[in-house]
Amino acid sequence: MKTISRLVIISAIACGFAQSVISQEEAWENADRIEIKLVDPLDEPRGWCVDLFAHLRNALPLGGFQGHNCFLDMERGPTEDQGFDAEKFEQEGVLDLVYWDVCLTLHDPNPRSFVAAETCTGAPAQEFEWSSAGQIIPKIAPELCLTLGSSTIPGGGRLAPVGARPPKDNVDIPQIRRLSFETCSDEHAVLQSWGPRREYERAEATYPSRFLESN
């Protein structure tokens, strides 16, 4: 009898989990999704986007948000780790990453704050304004702006080994940059100006390729 009861409980839990997954899949498919893209492409022709520290559907949403090359060039719309709910932001000022149902969150209302990915609760730390200048500003800390880091890390951990192929073939490998909240300033305006994007258009990098020519 105990065995049967345990099986019933396990089946109920599994059924509830399956319904939750289906519900989230439906939310993902039906949402009006956008990328949050830096206006200036800097050194990355694909553009820089707000990205979950994960990989599409194949990782746990741990580590918060980072800057990463955009994925719209994959030609299937904003991806699971970069697709935010446009309508929810317009109505509530909340940046909800639809597939994972986690919200961009101000971890600490001070400069250099970590950009957290937390369960969406409607907390004040999850409410933002998107200014006419493209700044994404926490309502509880209006002196701060979402800011892309100034240093590029080639490869996102997956850079081809030295000598494996010519550097010129590495142009489209993953690229990452730190993401944080910093004091809004004209000096850092190029790293603090963001725009929504639904369709892909490759841009020319503002400054030359990161990679050296082969000897």
Same domain, 40 and 118: yes
Alpha carbons 4 and 215: distance in angstroms, whole number: 70
Same domain, 56 and 124: yes
| pLDDT band (50, 70, 90) for residue 131 | very high
Same domain, 106 and 6: no
pLDDT in tens, 74-102: 777 888 999 999 999 999 999 999 999 89
For the chain, give the longest Cα–Cα distance.
74
Q: Is residue 75 part of a domain?
A: yes
Highest mean pLDDT among 14-28, 66-80, 172-186, 197-211: 172-186
Q: Please report, in angstroms and rounded to a whole number, the separation of the first and last CA atoms in the chain.
A: 74
Same domain, 102 and 182: yes
The answer to whether residue 13 scores a pLDDT higher than 80 is no
Same domain, 186 and 97: yes
For residue 144, give Cα distances in angstroms to 37, 57, 183, 198: 18, 31, 4, 26
Q: Is residue 44 part of a domain?
A: yes
Same domain, 165 and 189: yes
The answer to whether residue 112 scores a pLDDT higher than 80 is yes
Q: Is residue 125 part of a domain?
A: yes
- For the chain, the domain total comes to 2
Same domain, 17 and 82: no
For residue 173, give Cα distances in angstroms to 60, 155, 181, 203: 22, 6, 26, 16
Q: Which domain holds residue 11?
A: 1-30
Q: Is residue 177 part of a domain?
A: yes
